[in-house]
Amino acid sequence: MRSIGEMARDSGLSVSALRFYDRAGVLVPARVDPVTGYRWYGPEQLEESRVLARLRRAGMPLADIRLVLAGWSGADTDLVRKLLQAHLRRLERGLSDARGEFSTLRTLLERRGNPMTSLRTDAVRLALSAPDLAAALDAVRFAASTDPELPMLGGVLFDIEGEALHVVASDRYRMAVARAGTAGHGGSRVQVIVPSPLADAMRALLGDDASVRLTVEGDRVALETGGRLAAGQCLDHDFPDYRRLVRLPAGRRALVDVPAFRKAVETGPVRVSEAREQDGVASCELSVLTVAADGVVTVCEDGDDDQDRVAVNRGFLLDALAAGARDQLVLEFGASNAPLAIRRTDTEGTFSILMPVRLEH
């Protein structure tokens, strides 16, 4: 007999998923301790659990999985083959439909062209506070992408407009935005993507009490302070319209004590995501969060029955808490499928958002 923990380890299904499949009548333990409620699985159920894990990764509905497992444990292999073939045909039809939609979207995209936010024919020069720019870079750098397939996200966006510089970074699964005041620029909006190594070199020049000068000229950007210079070429891409992406619906706000909450996340229960390889996302450790009516945020043990739970990548959450650089931060919860926002209490211009992770069963 295997305990539920051993079954999870050997099958590739999480403990919470095994509990869900028990309640759903898909994979019922061979024995449940009448006193403790602890689940035990028979030797023959290991193969079934591995089949179940593969079928779920392939996206088969639970109703069909029940029939497959019933046929698998019996002698009706013909039924199993027919169910597998029917699901494969559905996947192939879905892929064909998706290819058609993407072909149409590519055509529409080519018609739209790719207008630049600014042609940057004139040099832009502005002055900034070194500590302000350092704090802004520190608040967003953790979210920059390292994916070579998405080069437009492989840096930090410098968005200059009026008397403000917004710095933005995103890797699709998280986004961070920070604001720094500027002086000397009164022209139109200008955007450049500073490659991550150059952004790091700029950050290394920033001291505690110096002002700096930022210059954008053509496809080059330079930061000068105290006779030292960090300069290089901007990325030749357009950054996504981050202003649209950060327009979140109003949610429940909870003030958290960062040291205590960080400890709760670090030591609290963890759920392993069951991300599929074809999604391009590696499995990761998740923290499942809920916020009570009194504003207390809890790291859940399981949370399968809580419709208001939000699951996020635990490493990303810890990074965002560190980048917030405050003893108190505001967590803003929307629906379970809406991003989680982490905001400072002293400014609305610096914040980060984390995309939720769907809890698979």
CATH 3.40.50.720 matches 2-88:
no
From the list 190, 197, 159, the residue with the least C-alpha distance to 177 is 159
Confidence band, pLDDT 50/70/90 cuts, at residue 118: very low
What is the CATH T-level fold of the domain 124-243, as seen in this structure? DNA Polymerase III; Chain A, domain 2 (3.10.150)
Split at pLDDT 50, 70, 90, the class of 61 is confident
Q: What is the CATH number of domain 248-354?
A: 3.10.150.10
Residue with tokens 């022209």: 187
Query: Lowest-confidence range among 95-109, 253-267, 276-290?
Result: 276-290
- Is-same-fold flag (2-88; 124-243)? no
Strands (E), 234-282: 252-257, 271-272
What are the pLDDT digits (tens) for 149-172? 888 899 999 999 888 899 999 999
- The pLDDT score that the predictor gives to residue 279 is 43
Question: Is 137 within 8 Å of 203 (Cβ atoms)?
Answer: yes
User: What's the whole-model pTM score?
Assistant: 0.74
List pLDDT tens digits, range 270-313: 877 655 443 444 567 888 898 888 888 989 875 455 567 888 99
- Burial (Cβ within 10 Å: 0-12, 13-18, ≥19) of residue 121: exposed
Nearby residues of 261 by Cβ (< 8 Å), 6 or more positions away: 297, 321
Q: Dihedral sign for Cα 222, 226, 227, 228, please.
A: negative
Domain boundaries, the chain: 2-88, 124-243, 248-354
| Rounded Cα distance, 225 and 212, in Å | 5
